[in-house]
Structure 1
Amino acid sequence: MQPTVRALMVQGTTSDAGKSVLVAGLCRVLARKGILVAPFKPQNMALNSAVTADGGEIGRAQAVQAFACGIEPTVDMNPVLLKPNTDTAAQVIVQGKAVEDMDAIGFQGYKQFVLPSILQSFARLQQHYDTVVIEGAGSPAEVNLRENDVANMGFAEPADVPVIIVADIDRGGVFAHLYGTLALLSESEQARVKGFVINRFRGDITLLQSGLDWLEQKTGKPVLGVLPYLHGLMLEAEDAISVQQVAKVEKPLQVVVPVFTRISNHTDFDALRMHPQVNVHLIGKGEPLPAADLIILPGSKSVRSDLAYLREQGWDQQIARHLRLGGKVMGICGGYQMLGEWVSDPHGLEGEPGQSRGLGYLPVSTVLAPEKQLKRSQGTLRLPGMPSVEVSGYEIHAGVTSGVSPDSAPVHLHTDSGNLADGAIGVDDQVFGTYLHGVFDKPSACSAILNWAGLADCQTPDMDQIKADNIERLADEIEQHLNLAALWPEWKHLFQKV
């Protein structure tokens, strides 16, 4: 049976080979040709997630890819999401809803039961779109994970879809990666591979030609294109923390973010990294918190564990000193919970049952509850000394926080039943917290927070426009350097170069 042309799967030789970015770019290329296209990833493992309009949770990368398609993300675009709690266990989310926590061995056996849900979601997308661009996970050549695989060829075979394999030449060893990956596939899987894409190439393409010829001769598979290294490309990360920043003004506002072991949704800080008046310092294990205007405690998938980690690093004492010197502190989601009096986990949702004393800067306490809060939100933000501004974002948390005062809460979210108070302010108006991820994405809210932190004359860029411009740039490069007619021959007239 010939693979369907109504779908294409992008697999990679390694993690971070460029699968997510290539899928986003291909989606935008097709969308601007008038083709109805949707992204899909059978199984994702990431702590950066997004909330769909119907209250489901999917990987952040699929939300970005949906944006590239010009459509709303749905739970069918990422039917299985794994959110690690520890090095050996993760929360399993199926079609947008948390099912249970499993260790790695338990999930390995569970995969065979979840494949029907994956194929069901894929079939629904195919019913509504002209084509679906699918992203694999990790590498299809990880032989220890081949049994019951649902992320790569274990999906491609039952779904009967063609595959291309992408490799990152900037890491070195690109020909070994591509040749070896293909060699480790079964005969039927090899037949499914339509060709290779080489990503992040720097230099003169003529110097690569002999290698391309060798690869095609040895494998019998074409190299469909070589994509250049795109300096300064800014797309929301699937999971890895990006340190890329735009050029800064002479004296930017200094923002420090402690990086927790289970930091989640660190895409919250993309708007600050792209802000020319803000310098973001991501501080890791063993590093002291440098002098700053604003310290932001990020989200966490294991709040009590990361609160203990924060104290182990001595960051609690450094935050206290920062406040004594007049600095500002902000907490988002898990970081907000840490700033309160207590964090309790009676059901052991994120580890051993118990409770932990918070940092005590906000007059609230949090109890983790089994039912996760998943919603998109919008409303108003008002910080001390600042006018009210519009704010929007999304909430992903198991915590139920008490002690929030409607009169003094910094955020008021608009709901069907009226305004809902969110967050708290404390320590002489130097500290505030909120459950709202994406709080910096709307320029008005970002400017208000930075003004509160001490940045005068704030000129905040439009993150939506930055994201759209970068996806357009990526699509332009893909159109120029990839043989798209070989991937979608029925639309080859759309890809003719002028």
Structure 2
Amino acid sequence: MIQGTGSNVGKSMLVAGLARAFTRRGLRVAPFKPQNMSNNAAVTNDGGEIGRAQALQARAAQQPAHTDMNPILLKPETDTGAQIIVQGKRRGTMRASDYRRDKSTLLAAALESFDRLCAGVDLVLIEGAGSPAETNLRQGDIANMGFACAAGVPVILVGDIHRGGVIAQIVGTQAVLDDIDLARIRGFAVNRFKGDVALFDAGRDDIADRTGWPCLGVVPWFNEAWRLPAEDMMDIRSQPGGACKVVVPQLERMANFDDLDPLSAEPEVSVEIIPPGRPLPGDADLVLLPGSKSTIGDLAFFRSQGWDIDLLGHVRRGGHVLGLCGGYQMLGNSIDDPEGIEGRAGKFQGLGLLDVDTVMTGDKEVVQRNAIALPGREPVTGYEIHIGRTDGTDCSRPWLEVDGRPEGAASANGRIRGSYLHGLFSSDAFRSRFLNELGHRSDATYEEGVEETLEALATHLEQHMDLDFLWSLAEAPTQR
């Protein structure tokens, strides 16, 4: 189990790289994260949801993504509550205070999924969440040491030197853990070093002397990390100055923004995430309204920033607009939520840029899709993950065929489009035509680039971590 001294120390990337490295050695490998919190979900072959980081790790391990790889997924809907996905299926919404009190009841589901994974592979690489040093969260924990102790798995603690204070990160974590948790830790690693690694030899040895733990490696900064699908929205790499400017308003509950990854990989495309308090730039080629975990709430937030006025100005100047999933719903005339699925029941005015209307329903669509883009008929693969049904006059101008049926809507001039299909920009052929319609060229081969990066990451870790030692530390999990 790879645990971190804090959030965003690189755990997800390390697990992905290790998964590919051990797979290259001929082992059957599976990733696992008992609890994840993310609105950037992936749809699995068995029709469920897991964190997108675990889907990338499964790809690294050359395994199909499965709901057992991330049995507990929390999708924040408000500042104090989240939708809870258990083994891929929506169980309900729970306030944070209730979840903290009741989360230990979910441990059984996590262990059940873990046991199934272990039965079919040689090695399971487990990713923790946040930090085990958050002692106020230890009671009932299922994300870090609580799971490690229940499953009987060894732990490697990873610190991030790039943010500074890595000696205190690791030594301080040891200082606050109790003896039962400390007994699970077998070693440490330091991630994201910039410069000559030998300059940290004294620091590495100091950590080892103070903790008694061996070091499995000091990992230099991996420059190509931006080419991998981003788990966090702010990890999306923008290349300022690209000839094609794609502007994305940063919604409060932005979800499934992996649509941006293939665009950000394009050398000639600049993807700009616009934070609250800033207007949408007037020189955008495309304004992309992304998915949302709370469409009605994010629509109100969009208006509160004055972005609705900016968007109308963009349209008047002849700009293009694309709404995906929740963004598609926002572009319509209205969103009707008669049962109050997203909060207060009622009918809410949309942005009115597409002549369509949406009705929220309790049934959630979670499915992988094969599609054909129109009119070029480029093959596209993607997924749907949404509640609600959308219909109206502009649906008579679909720009996709999904499993043989028309999908999406477009304005009469074709400059404003919406669809429920995520992932369509991963298709090089479709992305090339789409950017060509904006007057720009596409040069990237996205999926090939992801594979090349996973291979390079595995090689990077083979050079800077002791994988033989890591393999020797692996243990058979506790039998239940």
Q: Give me the TM-score of the superposition, normalised by structure 1.
A: 0.92
Query: Which has the larger displacement, 11-20 or 261-270?
Result: 261-270
Deviation at 1:403, TM superposition (A): 2.3
Q: Name the SS of the counterpart of 2:234 in structure 1.
A: coil
Structure 2 contact 36–72 (Cα < 8 Å) conserved: yes
Q: Name the SS of the counterpart of 1:451 in structure 2.
A: helix
Deviation at 1:407, TM superposition (A): 4.6
Match of 2:37 among 45, 60, 76: 45
**1:395 partnered with 2:384:** yes
Q: Which amino acid letter does the alignment assign opposite residue 55 of structure 1?
A: G
Query: Which has the larger displacement, 202-211 or 261-270?
Result: 202-211
1:209-254 alpha-carbon deviations (Å, 9 max, x no partner): 11111111111001110000112322222234224245866xx111
CA distance in 2, matches of 1:345, 1:302: 12
Q: Which amino acid letter does the alignment assign opposite residue 330 of structure 2?
A: M
Deviation at 1:427, TM superposition (A): 4.9
CA distance in 1, matches of 2:156, 2:317: 55
What is the match of residue 446 of structure 1? Answer: 431
Q: Name the SS of the counterpart of 1:488 in structure 2.
A: helix
CA distance in 1, matches of 2:108, 2:393: 43
Q: Name the SS of the counterpart of 1:472 in structure 2.
A: helix
Query: Which has the larger displacement, 403-412 or 173-182?
Result: 403-412
1:463-486 alpha-carbon deviations (Å, 9 max, x no partner): 111111111111111101111122
Q: Name the SS of the counterpart of 1:225 in structure 2.
A: strand
What is the match of residue 272 of structure 1? Answer: 263
Deviation at 1:404, TM superposition (A): 6.6
Match of 1:464 among 436, 447, 467: 447
Q: Name the SS of the counterpart of 2:187 in structure 1.
A: strand
Deviation at 1:460, TM superposition (A): 3.9
**1:188 partnered with 2:180:** yes
1:444-474 alpha-carbon deviations (Å, 9 max, x no partner): 111222222332xx23412111111111111
Query: Which has the larger displacement, 55-64 or 179-188?
Result: 179-188
**1:488 partnered with 2:446:** no
**1:285 partnered with 2:280:** no
Structure 2 contact 395–408 (Cα < 8 Å) conserved: no
Q: Name the SS of the counterpart of 2:425 in structure 1.
A: coil
What is the match of residue 199 of structure 1? Answer: 191
Which segments of 5 or more consecutive residues in structure 2 lack a partner in the other structure?
Answer: 475-480
Query: Which has the larger displacement, 393-402 or 160-169?
Result: 393-402
Deviation at 1:490, TM superposition (A): 8.5
What pairs with 1:311-390 in structure 2 (closer than 5 Å)?
311-382=303-374, 387-390=376-379
Match of 2:53 among 54, 58, 61: 61
Structure 1 contact 247–276 (Cα < 8 Å) conserved: no
Q: Which amino acid letter does the alignment assign opposite residue 489 of structure 1?
A: S
CA distance in 1, matches of 2:322, 2:442: 20
1:185-219 alpha-carbon deviations (Å, 9 max, x no partner): 12121121111110000122232111111111111
Aligned length: 472
Cα 1:406–1:259 shift into 2, 3 Å: closer
**1:242 partnered with 2:242:** no
CA distance in 1, matches of 2:292, 2:473: 46
Structure 2 contact 31–69 (Cα < 8 Å) conserved: yes
CA distance in 1, matches of 2:314, 2:233: 28
Q: Percent identity?
A: 47
Deviation at 1:408, TM superposition (A): 1.8
CA distance in 1, matches of 2:289, 2:98: 32
Q: Which amino acid letter does the alignment assign opposite residue 434 of structure 2?
A: I
Q: Give me the TM-score of the superposition, normalised by structure 2.
A: 0.95
CA distance in 2, matches of 1:404, 1:36: 51
Match of 2:127 among 119, 126, 135: 135
Structure 2 contact 394–410 (Cα < 8 Å) conserved: no
CA distance in 2, matches of 1:238, 1:289: 24
Q: Name the SS of the counterpart of 1:87 in structure 2.
A: coil
Cα 1:453–1:463 shift into 2, 3 Å: same
Structure 2 contact 394–411 (Cα < 8 Å) conserved: no
CA distance in 1, matches of 2:258, 2:174: 34
**1:420 partnered with 2:411:** no
Structure 2 contact 382–424 (Cα < 8 Å) conserved: yes
**1:253 partnered with 2:244:** yes
What is the match of residue 478 of structure 2? Answer: none
